[in-house]
Amino acid sequence: METVALAVEEVMGQKSALSNFYAPWNARPFIFRLPTEILEDIFIQCASDYHCEHNDGSPTSDAPSWVNVSYVCHHWRHVALNCATIWTYVFITSSRWTEELLARSRQASLKIRISLPDDTIPQLENTQAVEKVMDHLERIQELCVDVSEPYDKQVLPKLSSRAPRLQTLQITLDDPSLEWPSSLFAGVPPALHTLDLSFCSVRLSSFKLNALTTLSLHDVPDRFRQNIEEFLAVMSYMKDLEHLYLDHALTSATGFLSSAVFRTFEKIDSPHLSHLLIGAPLSTTVALLSCVNIPSKTAVKLECHSEPDCPFHNYAVLCSLFTQRCSMTKDHALSSSTILSLDIVIFEGLTAATLTFSPSERNFNDELDEAWDSNIPLRINVDLSENDGDRIISNICCSMSLSNVRSLRVIQPPFSPGFWRRMLGHLRDIRYIELYGANMPDLSVLSLADLTTDEGARNQDGLAAADRGQSHILAPNLEELMLEWITFLPEGDSDLPEPAITRHSLLDALSTRQGPHGRLTMTRCAIGNSDPFDSGMVWGDGGIHVVYDSENNEE
């Protein structure tokens, strides 16, 4: 035993000597001479970034990368262990580690994310860790929870405790029938800044909403959905609201729109609103837009659900709201000069369409489900019927002042010449048109003299009396027409469903245009059932000239 003790003493002595040897060297690099306050700020930023970008709340057996700062050297470890804020970004791990994190954070406010979906096998370690975290609800500042039935007993009952520091609450439940406590936060709702509820059967009256800056309600169970009048009463108290997301959260507003209350309703001011999403029946969308003053800077996304028995199913009222907003004074209106691109995506069978209005030229985005920001001031998803899709889309577009739009893209464009005549007459400064997929629509209107008008009264045919007899070429500034995966009607054949035209018809229309030179590009296009071809041409000077044509092997 004496020999072992001597050996241990010798090893410890060598370690001490080695540490003394490296200490002066470690003190030389600048990174080891940073003040403690700066090191703390760096460590906190590392933990915060991981929490926001990488921590999905799932249980983990490995500590996140930011914990490694406590293992670099004695000095860094001393700084890390004495900075309580670093350890407030709690991650779900073993019960022992969870206790250690809570102890190191001392009494600082906690940021918690918990994600336990229904395919997670319930484990004692996970259950104990979640319980330990939720026992500190009084210290939690940010709580983001995504749980299923096996874990709801560790989370929902704990919400009956006091939570005086809680500012952000985000809860997603896989089962909307899960039972909530009868009294949230001991009957004293915290002054939340952010409230995000998905599939939650809890009433808004359970929370204090005066300080809210973000309210997000998704897929609220039917019996807990508010009617529009109740919601507007609640919204009138949210003076600081910046983000409002309502998706399947409100009931139909057909009764409210026909009531005396609606006719005398005093609009609610939301001066700080920057993002508004409404996914609701068309009547509810109309009611919200009619009853709330929306700032011009607000990015708006509408997902309108048709109501066959509703008098507003034809979108006429919605269009009139856009007209009113665009005709207001410059300080309050959505200026037409901010819209330079229009992107129309038609879904198969003309069942629905997405219209995106952008302030940047050729700003087309195929990821329609991703989050949108102020770079997209307006996006509208609408239900369509096969018979009036053309009219609904053109009515929405033509209800807005789009005289500065330069770029237009249409995906799956099955539209008639009448649609194009109206749209191109409205988009007067269009320079670029891109068509993708489906059959080639009849764009012979590009070569026809058409009667259009400036702003003013129109007769039943849509023409102003002052413009009668004046010829104008539609899209006079058109510089480029891009076609991709477009199918033309075969010459002398009508097997393809209308509307569709032949390639020769399109080339004839472009070659006879009176206007500036332009370029036609066809990529992976086809004639009937033939193989795809690529082709490039230019028009102008009363003709059209081939640049390249893979179908005819021409260069």
* Position 320 in a domain: no
Contacts of 124 (CB under 8 A, 6+ apart): none
Contacts of 358 (CB under 8 A, 6+ apart): 339, 340, 341, 342, 343, 375, 376, 377
Lowest mean pLDDT among 93-102, 211-220, 304-313, 538-547: 304-313
The neighbouring-strand residues paired with 51 are: none
Question: Which pLDDT band, with edges at 50, 70 and 90, does 130 fall under?
Answer: confident
Q: What is the mean pLDDT of residues 290-302?
A: 87
Domain that holds residue 44: 22-96
How much is the pTM?
Answer: 0.80
Q: What is the mean pLDDT of residues 383-406?
A: 83
Confidence at residue 415, expressed as pLDDT on a 0 to 100 scale: 80
pLDDT at 141 over 80: yes
Q: Which two tokens stand for residue 16?
A: 């001490």
Q: What is the mean pLDDT of residues 391-414?
A: 88
pLDDT at 149 over 80: no
CA dihedral 209, 213, 218, 221 (to 10 degrees): 0
Highest average pLDDT, of 55-59, 237-241, 470-474, comes from 237-241
Helices 124-134/95-104 angle, 10° precision: 20
* Position 60 in a domain: yes
| Tens digits of residue pLDDT in 258-269 | 899 988 999 999
Confidence at residue 451, expressed as pLDDT on a 0 to 100 scale: 46
Lowest mean pLDDT among 380-389, 417-426, 465-474: 465-474
pLDDT at 456 over 50: no
Q: Where are the alpha helices (DSSP H) in 55-206?
A: 74-81, 95-104, 124-134, 152-155
CB–CB of 304/318 below 8 Å? yes
Between 118 and 110, residue with greater pLDDT = 110
Question: Which pLDDT band, with edges at 50, 70 and 90, does 277 fall under?
Answer: very high
pLDDT at 25 over 70: no
Confidence at residue 3, expressed as pLDDT on a 0 to 100 scale: 72
Instruction: For residues 131 and 463, give the distance between their C-alpha atoms in angstroms, rounded to a whole number.
Output: 70
Instruction: For residues 385 and 352, give the distance between their C-alpha atoms in angstroms, rounded to a whole number.
Output: 8
Contacts of 318 (CB under 8 A, 6+ apart): 282, 285, 286, 289, 304, 312, 396
SS3 state of residue 503: helix
Between 197 and 492, residue with greater pLDDT = 197
Pairing of strands 472-473, 518-527: unpaired
Domain total of the chain: 1
pLDDT at 468 over 50: no
pLDDT at 460 over 50: no
Q: What is the mean pLDDT of the chain?
A: 80
Establish whether the linkage from the previous residue to 414 is cis, with ω within 30° of 0.
Answer: no
Residue 76: DSSP 8-state: H
Instruction: For residues 442 and 2, give the distance between their C-alpha atoms in angstroms, rounded to a whole number.
Output: 100
| Tens digits of residue pLDDT in 407-444 | 999 999 878 888 998 999 899 899 999 999 988 998 88
CB–CB of 442/482 below 8 Å? no
Q: Could you give the count of Cα atoms lying within 13 Å of 388 in the half-sphere of its Cβ? A: 12
Confidence at residue 351, expressed as pLDDT on a 0 to 100 scale: 82
* Position 71 in a domain: yes
pLDDT at 28 over 70: no
* Position 77 in a domain: yes
Residue 283 C-alpha from the chain's centroid? 22
Provide the 10 A C-beta neighbour count for residue 525. 21
Q: What is the mean pLDDT of residues 13-41?
A: 68
Instruction: For residues 90 and 104, give the distance between their C-alpha atoms in angstroms, rounded to a whole number.
Output: 11
Instruction: For residues 363 and 374, give the distance between their C-alpha atoms in angstroms, rounded to a whole number.
Output: 13
**Single-letter amino acid, residue 132:** K
Pairing of strands 214-218, 449-450: unpaired
* Position 133 in a domain: no
* Position 404 in a domain: no
The neighbouring-strand residues paired with 114 are: 145
Question: Which pLDDT band, with edges at 50, 70 and 90, does 215 fall under?
Answer: very high
Confidence at residue 296, expressed as pLDDT on a 0 to 100 scale: 79
Confidence at residue 544, expressed as pLDDT on a 0 to 100 scale: 86
Annotate 136-148 with b (16+ C-beta within 10 A) or e (fewer).
bbbbbbbbbbbbb
Confidence at residue 449, expressed as pLDDT on a 0 to 100 scale: 59
DSSP string covering 34-57: S-HHHHHHHHHHHHHHHHHHT--S
Between 18 and 280, residue with greater pLDDT = 280
Query: Residue 534: enclosing H or E segment and its boundaries?
Result: strand 533-540
CB–CB of 40/79 below 8 Å? yes
Lowest mean pLDDT among 75-79, 84-88, 377-381, 471-475: 471-475
For the chain, helix, strand, coil in percent to 5 are 35, 25, 45
Own/partner contacts of 536-539, CB < 8 Å, gap of 24 or more, are 537/507, 537/510, 539/510, 539/511, 539/513
Q: Which two tokens stand for residue 193?
A: 């800044």
Report the first-to-last Cα separation within the chain, whole angstroms: 93
CB–CB of 227/258 below 8 Å? no
Contacts of 464 (CB under 8 A, 6+ apart): 453, 454, 456, 457, 458
pLDDT at 322 over 70: yes
| Tens digits of residue pLDDT in 189-205 | 788 999 999 998 888 88
SS3 state of residue 124: helix
Confidence at residue 304, expressed as pLDDT on a 0 to 100 scale: 85
* Position 553 in a domain: no
CB–CB of 440/417 below 8 Å? no
pLDDT at 498 over 90: no
Confidence at residue 452, expressed as pLDDT on a 0 to 100 scale: 45
Instruction: For residues 141 and 17, give the distance between their C-alpha atoms in angstroms, rounded to a whole number.
Output: 46
SS (H, E, C) 192-217: CCEEEEECCCCCHHHCECCCCCEEEE
| Tens digits of residue pLDDT in 67-116 | 888 888 888 888 889 999 999 988 777 778 888 888 998 999 999 888 77
Question: Which pLDDT band, with edges at 50, 70 and 90, does 344 fall under?
Answer: very high
Confidence at residue 158, expressed as pLDDT on a 0 to 100 scale: 86
Lowest mean pLDDT among 167-171, 324-328, 432-436, 531-535: 324-328
Residue 526: DSSP 8-state: E
Confidence at residue 123, expressed as pLDDT on a 0 to 100 scale: 63
